[in-house]
Amino acid sequence: MMKVEVTIISKETIKPSLPTLHHLKPYKLTLLDQVTPATYVPTIFFYPMTNLNLDMSQIIAQLKTSLSDTLNIFYPFSGNIKDNLYIHEFDTGVPFLEAHVNCSMSEFLKHLETDLLSLFVPYHAFCKETNTAIGQMAVQLNLFDCGGIAIGLSCSHKIADATTASIFLHSWAATFTRSPEKVIHPNFSEGSIMFPPRDSLPQKYITTMENLWFKEGDYVTRRFVFHEKAIASLRSKAKSELVPKPTRTEALTSFIWKHCMATSKAKSVGPKNKSMTILVQAVNLRTRMKPHLSDASTGNIFWWAPAAADLAMEEKELHELVGLVNESIAGFNSDSAESLQGDEGFLAFSDFFDQLEDMFSAEPKPDVFAVTCWLRFFNDIDFGWGKPFWVGIMGKVGPAFRNLIIFSETPWGDGIEAWVTLDEKEMAILENDPEFLACASLNPSISISL
């Protein structure tokens, strides 16, 4: 096995190109931003640059210039958070690192070790950050020996969900290619109007959300690939009278949850053996508001839809779990989304926080699994060299994290990658589960012709 080394060769701070940003009013956080931890979400875009006669020094200069111009529009990404209420000091800037990778992209992807993806982003993924002064975003441009590049992004979840990160990246790419008509102009006010921040947010609510996000343990992340035929088979098994047409993600979420229950049950023995498991799914609230919010509405405009099950459910049929998953999402209709809005909506959030607090204080403590879907967010970020061949998500996670499932596209587009983070001992059970591996391939190599 080759030793992959990623060496930082330069670092500078990219600031907005317009000095007038000094006079802009502070950007208000939403209530949802306030309770979201300051943790960096990684995304890595691999561009082979095959058969392209390009001047790399010119590309690097243009990436920096276009980023600077994009920050004129997305100026909160260039600022600092103050008192968990707003972002100001928009001339702080975004760190931009250049790095050299001592191999070709084809070699790296063919012998992919997902833990090494941590080397391709500026900040460690999904750690509990206490120093918010280090900024909202950082970029790392990784240059392979073959001429291919990987753009690594670390974006603070405090100010952006997947939708907001996606419109930023699409706008940066549009600015790079001089396509102003493709730039998405963000709406910085809708979110804080719908979900106004609280000047005196109870600390217990912030602590409760941190408990949802972070728990001490020995976590590992594995990439499982579900091919088209396996997904079709699972969707067929997941059908029921209640859910006659389960989606791909409903079927996969339920299948993975079912097998994670089995791993938890196998590991949990003794007088304090666990009996309950909780699944929380990230739900985009923009399309559930009345009227709908556009994707240009920035911030964390999502919430968690919980579903609870007894660990004995792992012995049930797949369609029964799909019913629970579907029901939890269906509960977020326009009426329930509307109940979260405005000052009155804080009461609804308070009830949710209280329920979470009760859940975390229960004995024995239940396993909590979080699920988020990144399909169709990042697979078409085109800087003029074509779409990324592959989008890597996360390498090694911090010592305090959580059980997490992230869905993303496969390079060939007809399958789904599930990036699963679990306790190390539970992952060892899952990796050797023959029924699970009959549908999922564990970190298959990625072939690319350069």
* 418 contacts: CB under 8 Å, gap ≥ 6: 223, 224, 225, 226, 252, 256, 405, 406, 407, 440
CB 379 within 8 A of CB 391: yes
Instruction: Locate 313 and state its tokens.
Output: 């459910």
Q: What is the DSSP string of 41-55?
A: EEEEEEE--TT----
CB 302 within 8 A of CB 285: yes
Catalytic residue among 91, 115, 380, 382: 382
Nearest to 398 by CA among 221, 263, 260: 221
CB 84 within 8 A of CB 29: yes
Nearest to 80 by CA among 163, 137, 154, 13: 137
Q: Is 157 a catalytic residue?
A: yes
Catalytic residue among 157, 170, 259, 319: 157
Q: Measured between alpha carbons, how far is 151 from 98 in angstroms, rounded to an integer? A: 10
CB 146 within 8 A of CB 100: no
CB 166 within 8 A of CB 378: yes
Q: Measured between alpha carbons, how far is 290 from 337 in angstroms, rounded to an integer? A: 8
CB 385 within 8 A of CB 151: no
Active-site residue set: 157, 382
